[in-house]
Structure formats: C-alpha cells, structure tokens
Amino acid sequence: MGTWWHDTIVESGRLPLFCFLCAFLAAFLFIRLSVRMIRAQVSWWPGNVTPGGMHLHHVVFGTILMLVSGFVIIALANYQTPVANIILASTFGIGAALVLDEFALILHLSDVYWTQEGRSSIDAVFVAVTITGFFLLGVHPLGFQGDFDGLSQADAPEVVITLVFFVLQLLLAVVTLAKGKVWSGLVGLFFTPLLLVTAIRLGRPHSPWARWRYVTRPRKMDKAVHREKRFRRPVIKAKIAVQEAIAGHFDADQVQAAQEAAQLAHEQATDRAAEAARAAGPIGVTTPRLPTPS
C-alpha cells in the first residue's frame, strides 16, 4: 500500500489532486449534514447565515473560496510551492463542493434545493467525484494522456490515425449523449469500448435520438420503452435512494402525493354534487361549481 501511494500519488504529482478530492468530499458531507440539521430545526445547531435578514447561500462562500484559491494557484504557477499547492488545492475543493451542492440553484435561478430539480446538484457532485477519481488513478480520456505530444515530429500516418481516433471518440460520445445515456457517455470518454457499445444500442425513449429516429419506427420505440421500464427505472430508483441517503429526502414525492390527493378530493366532491343534483330533480336545480384545486 505504501509503495502504491508513493508511486501512484506522490511521485506522479497527484498529491494536490488527492487533497482536492478529500477536501471536496469532506466539505460536501459536512454541508449536507448542516442543511439537514437546519431543516430538522435542531435547536443547538447553528442556523443559516442571514446578515441583515438576507439569507446567504453557501454557494456564495464557495465562489469566494474558488476565486481566491484559483488566483493564488495561478500566481504561484512558476514557483515550486508543494505545501502551498496542497493547501490551495484543498481550499479549492472545499469551494467547489459548496458551489456544486447548490448547482441546481444556479441552473434554475431559483431555490429548488429540496425539490426534484434539486437532485441535479447531487448528480453534479457525483460527476465531479467520478472524473477526479479517474484522473487520480491515472485514467485519462484521449487528449489528456499525452496523445498529441510530439505530433509535429511524428510521421504523417501516425498524426492522421491519432486525429481520426480522437474525432471518432468524440462522435461516439455525442451519439451516446443524444441517446440519453449521460453516465455511459461520461465514463466512455475514459473507456472507449464502452462508448462503442452504448452508441450502437437503442436510445432511451425520451431522448433526442428517439424523437429523431424512432417516431416512424414503432417497434424500436416499443422496445426502448420496454427496456426503460425493465432495466432503467430500477436503476433510477436505486440512484434516488442513494441520493436521499446522503443528501436527505426531497419534497418531490410529497408534493406529487398532495396534488394527487387534492385531485381525488375534487373528483369525489364533483360526483357527490352530481348525485345530489340528480336526486333533487332537473327543475330549478343547478350543479354547484367547485373550485379547481391548485
């Protein structure tokens, strides 16, 4: 283990990246614990930061940390500062965690932290951890492994093959994403055979690819829908369970249940009013109009 740590992390210059990942995970878990304690209204836990009555979201503090640490990293780029690099990478990781934890707020320009849209913040965190983990282990996508180093001195066939392979990988990634397979497209950038398999297979029924290609091919659409129900939905449920175990329960299910209950109550009230109107007779009786539930 010590040899692996020294050779893979320290000697390869990935120690700052390792510190970034550790700080990122620690900050994300802490801020999620904090917001869950605040949501549960735990009396002894410090509440939101509200100077002058204005709620400062933690994305503000994350942005400041990222700007300051990023600026100092650039300023020290030409100097050998190994200790400072570790500290700055850790600071940048903390700031990145605070920002990505409220990624949905930035995306929607609305406080959707505990709604269904707020799950995109957890997805963004998962993506950041996955990419960082790959780079930390030395697994890089094409172009980040020195594939283009020394191409000017290489033979023309070698240059052409490298560029063709690079373009092919990008095209496969675009097709995979168009088929609605975001995680396959992401991981496939690091493992090209996965891109080839997912680009050939059927797209998801609600993906842009399905709208372009399956509208006039009902058999393919039916097959895509069948696969979505049989394989994709259990995976999505498992992912949501993991998200809520880490980040807390989102209100989307509760809101949907309340809307369904209100609609059911409205339908029952309408039926009772119609029965009362029939019982009273058709003359001089009008069915009361009930307000539509919001």
pLDDT tens per residue across all 294 residues of the chain = 677 788 888 888 899 999 999 999 999 999 999 999 988 888 899 888 888 888 889 999 999 999 999 999 999 988 888 899 999 999 999 999 999 999 999 999 888 888 888 888 999 999 999 999 999 988 887 656 655 666 555 566 777 777 888 888 889 999 999 999 988 888 888 888 888 899 999 998 888 988 888 888 888 888 888 888 888 888 888 888 888 888 888 875 444 445 445 555 655 665 665 566 556 655 444 545 555 555
Q: Are residues 174 and 63 in the same domain?
A: no
pLDDT at 155: 65
Query: Is 279 within the bounds of a domain?
Result: no
| 98, 123, 139 - which closes a domain | 139
Mark whether 32 and 109 lie in a shared domain.
Answer: yes
**Residue 232 resides in a domain:** no
Residue 1's pLDDT is what?
A: 67
Task: Give yes or no: residues 43 and 119 share one domain.
Answer: yes
Output the 3-class SS for the chain: CHHHHHHHHHCCCCHHHHHHHHHHHHHHHHHHHHHHHHHCCCCCCCCCCCHHHCCCCHHHHHHHHHHHHHHHHHHCCCCCCHHHHHHHHHHHHHHHHHHHCCHHHHHHCCCCCCCHHHHHHHHHHHHHHHHHHHHHCCCCCCCCCCCCCCCCCCCHHHHHHHHHHHHHHHHHHHHHHHCCCHHHHHHHCCCHHHHHHHHHCCCCCCCHHHHHHCCCCHHHHHHHHHHHHHHHHHHHHHHHHHHHHHHCCCCHHHHHHHHHHHHHHHHHHHHHHHHHHHHHCCCCCCCCCCCCCC
- What pLDDT score does 232 carry? 85
Predicted confidence at residue 255, as pLDDT, reads 46
Q: Is residue 243 part of a domain?
A: no
Range of the domain at 111: 1-139
One domain, residues 2 and 47: yes
Cβ atoms within 10 Å of 132's Cβ, excluding its own: 18
The reply to whether 5 and 132 lie within a common domain is yes
For residues 156 and 190, membership in a common domain is answered with yes
Domains contained in the chain, number: 2
Same domain, 185 and 61: no
Angle formed at CA 165 by CA 159 and CA 167, multiple of 5 degrees: 100
Do both 116 and 155 map to the same domain?
no
One domain, residues 21 and 78: yes
Q: Are residues 84 and 68 in the same domain?
A: yes
Same domain, 8 and 135: yes
In a domain, 100, yes or no: yes
Is residue 105 in some structural domain?
Answer: yes
**Residue 123 belongs to some domain of the structure:** yes
266 within some domain:
no
Domain boundary among 178, 201, 224: 201
Residues 50 and 106 in one domain: yes
153 in a domain, yes or no?
yes
**Residue 23: what pLDDT?**
97
What pLDDT is recorded for position 20?
Answer: 97
- Mark which of 86, 113, 139 sits at the end of a domain: 139
